[in-house]
Amino acid sequence: MDYESVELLIGAVLALVPVAALVVAGLWCLKAPAKRMPWFFFLGPVASLIYSWTAGSLALTLFPPPYDAYLDSGRGLDLRGMIIVFGAMAGGAAGIVTSIVFCALNLMRQWSRSRAGTTSRSMEHP
């Protein structure tokens, strides 16, 4: 397997990890939304930002591009590994969007429950 294939695979994994983690955390928070959702609203985007800043460089440390004497001598622009960095950045952005979507779904769910409760109470007492 050449480095380009490894780079694509790692970039894809880095893009999907925060989304999967925030979906699991969001579902856990929806079990007790009054206590957990305010924390999720704050920590989800912050964790995604930190992830997008650090995951790419950590992955490049673990999976460095192979040595190329031509590119290392300064005669060319070495962009190997950029897909890994862009995958981490895309994952961080997708994590922020996932956090916003979960918080919006929670607010819509609370609003529909309160609206249904208000409608049923108004029908009981004409």
Query: DSSP letters along 75-101, please?
Result: SS---TTHHHHHHHHHHHHHHHHHHHH
Residue 123, amino acid:
M
DSSP state string for 22-67: HHHHHHHHTTSHHHHHHHHHHHHHHHHHHHHHHHHHHHHHHSPPPP
The pTM of this model reads: 0.81
Token representation of residue 86 = 């862009």
Burial of residue 36 (number of CB atoms within 10 Å: 0-12, 13-18, 19+): middle
User: Residue 65 has what pLDDT?
Assistant: 85
Is the predicted pLDDT of residue 52 greater than 80, yes or no?
yes
Q: How far apart are CA 94 and CA 15, in angstroms?
A: 8
User: Residue 74 has what pLDDT?
Assistant: 72
